[in-house]
Structure 1
Amino acid sequence: MAKQPNPRPVPSAGKGHRHRQLDAIDHQIIRLLMRNGRMSNAALAAATATAESTSHARIQALVDSGVIRGFHAEVNAAAIGRPLLALISVRIHPGMREELEPQAQRLAKLPCVVHLFFTSGQADLVIWVAVPDSHALRDFVLTDLNAHKEIAGTETSVVLQHWRGEVDTVA
């Protein structure tokens, strides 16, 4: 649930960075860091059978090229007083599409927003929130969403259980 002080869209592959060709060692480093972002450089080097300087240089190249976009702590929302997770689909009025990005930036700055996605399909945005209770969720939907004239409608789904998947690399 790491927050950036000035939220901005996360670039998709190929946008904003020139990606280099990845080899098997790069893919192995990515897989290892996705499982444990705090893995030491020495452990990464040992696991990939490379020198520590090579491992460090490869990680830096992956960061510089935008393949690795950051290192974050995965926080147990319940442990910080926000046990209720919800996904909220948001539709912007068709005549107010120019407000989509300003609304997304406004929403991304709110403390209960974990992630915000611009999506295709029925919803324009999907917001993942972590709140203390159902009252806070209701207040968020009524005050931060439905009270804004740009918002055409919302649909809220409470998260009953959450599993973290692993993106597998191609190599």
Structure 2
Amino acid sequence: MKEIDRIDRKILRAMQDNGRLTNLELADKISLSPTATAERLKRLTRDGFIEGYAARLSPEKLNRGMLVFVEVKLDRTTPDIFDAFSKAVRQSDDVMECHMVAGGFDYLVKARVAGMEAYRSFLSEVILSLPGVRETHTYPVMEEVKNTGKLAV
């Protein structure tokens, strides 16, 4: 992996805080010339440190106010079942994240839906219809204490 220096880290922190900064604003924020800032930003993107830019949307305003985590156990843990499950879960717009985990279950799914009725439909039509699903445990979120995509840089 390529090394990054103190200035690169300042750029990454600033861009995590506000990905809409102009090059001039970023240069001012990190005390570097606009040309040098632009070159560093290009390099950080080219080298994969910056993967992209996106707007954070309001789940409540978009009728996706209910956040749930679902533990999924598969009936068999074979490569073909893992592949089929992964392919199928990618097709659901309700699923925000899905992680294969080690421990007492196979996958942890994070989803946003409108409410409990929508969750019941999501559970029966999406999760339980996925290949190989044997058992699920659902954890509806009562309060989001911290929700960030920022990495420590």
Same structural fold, with TM-score higher than 0.5 when normalized by the shorter chain: yes
TM-score between both structures, scaled by the size of structure 1:
0.80
Q: More deviation in 73-82 or 115-124?
A: 115-124
How many Å separate the matches in 1 of 2:86 and 2:105?
13
Instruction: Give the superposition deviation at 1:53.
Output: 1.9
Partner of 2:119: 137
How many Å separate the matches in 1 of 2:7 and 2:76?
47
Aligned residues: 151
Q: Considering only CA atoms, is the larger Rg found in Structure 1 or Structure 2?
A: 2
1:56 is aligned to 2:35: no
Q: Residue 90 of structure 1 contacts residue 154 of structure 1 at CA under 8 Å; is this kept in 2? A: yes
TM-score between both structures, scaled by the size of structure 2:
0.88
Gaps of 5+ in 2: none
Q: Residue 63 of structure 1 contacts residue 69 of structure 1 at CA under 8 Å; is this kept in 2? A: yes
State percent identity of aligned pairs: 20
Q: Residue 88 of structure 1 contacts residue 128 of structure 1 at CA under 8 Å; is this kept in 2? A: yes
Gaps of 5+ in 1: 1-18
> Does the C-alpha gap of structure 1 residues 40 and 71 become closer, same or farther in structure 2, counting only changes over 3 Å?
same
How many Å separate the matches in 1 of 2:3 and 2:102?
29
Instruction: Give the superposition deviation at 1:98.
Output: 2.3
Partner of 2:61: 79
The equivalent position to 2:20 in structure 1, one of 32, 35, 38, is 38
Taking only aligned residues, the RMSD between alpha carbons, in angstroms, comes to: 1.7
How many Å separate the matches in 1 of 2:131 and 2:93?
21
The equivalent position to 1:102 in structure 2, one of 69, 72, 84, is 84
